[in-house]
């Protein structure tokens, strides 16, 4: 495992190193906004499975997907309505996670053997990972903290073997922050699954009829 200080050197070199690790089928560790995460090629079943094992996930747990921007969302989801698009335009990149239905032709297994017909996706603000996603395409992601533990705000709290990761990218101590807000979008409308960093008031300012009790038709 190579260790890289993101506060030093050229970000282009760091991106190239991350891309090599991911494209070779390995896992990397890097900083999101409020915690370090493991990242792998979303279309590499072996790498995604290894990421779940590394974190200690139960069987059937599905990894979240990160993308660079909303421009590629129609390539992943078979249903993105106007209200969902409005939320994407307003809150991406940022702390809004969407539960969407995947396109039927996607060749991936995020951990559920494609049984759930839903995936969680977000475009993050974190500078390094955002720049990486622009080059890599969709990445599977999971917290670098073990299941049941708080987010790892520094790399000292990440317990892995040298052989577990291709690269550990270190940006120092990360700030604590709220969880993302999760919204589910399907043919029945939009439903708030979890209110987090983005409040209900902020959501309804974009989609006035928003409700977690009465989905938008």
pLDDT averaged over 10-residue windows placed end to end, the chain, 217 residues: 97 98 98 98 97 93 97 94 96 98 94 92 98 98 94 95 96 98 91 95 90 46
pLDDT at 215: 42
| Bridge partners, residue 66, by sequence | 122, 139
Give the number of other CB atoms < 10 A from CB of residue 211.
Answer: 15
What the chain holds in terms of domains, given with CATH numbers, is 2-206 (3.90.870.10)
Shortest CA distance to 79 belongs to which of 100, 54, 48, 58? 100
Rounded Cα distance, 103 and 142, in Å: 22
Within 8 A by CB and 6+ apart from 56, the residues are 146, 147
Report pTM: 0.94
Q: Which residues contact 3 (CB under 8 A, 6 or more apart)?
A: 167, 168, 170
Residue found by looking up tokens 């993105």 in the block: 80
């Amino acid at each position: 495992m190579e260790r890289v200080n993101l506060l030093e050197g050229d970000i282009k070199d760091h991106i190239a190193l991350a891309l090599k690790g991911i494209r070779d089928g390995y896992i990397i560790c890097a900083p999101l906004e409020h915690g370090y995460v493991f990242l792998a090629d979303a279309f590499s079943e072996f790498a995604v499975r290894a990421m779940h094992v590394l974190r200690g996930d139960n069987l059937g747990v599905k990894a979240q997907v990160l993308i660079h921007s909303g421009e590629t969302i129609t390539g992943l989801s078979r249903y993105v309505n106007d209200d969902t698009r409005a939320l994407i335009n307003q809150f991406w990149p940022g702390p809004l996670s969407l539960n969407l239905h995947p396109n039927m032709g996607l060749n991936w297994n995020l951990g559920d053997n494609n049984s759930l017909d839903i995936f969680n996706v977000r475009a993050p603000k974190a500078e390094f990972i955002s720049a990486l996603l622009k080059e890599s395409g969709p990445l599977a992601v999971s917290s670098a903290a073990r299941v049941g533990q708080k987010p790892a705000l520094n790399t000292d709290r990440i317990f892995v073997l040298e052989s577990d990761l291709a690269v550990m990218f270190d940006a120092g101590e990360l700030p604590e922050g709220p969880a993302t807000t999760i919204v589910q979008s399907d043919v029945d409308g939009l439903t708030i699954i979890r209110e987090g960093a983005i409040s209900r008031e902020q959501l309804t300012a974009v989609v006035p009829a928003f409700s977690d009790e009465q989905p938008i038709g």
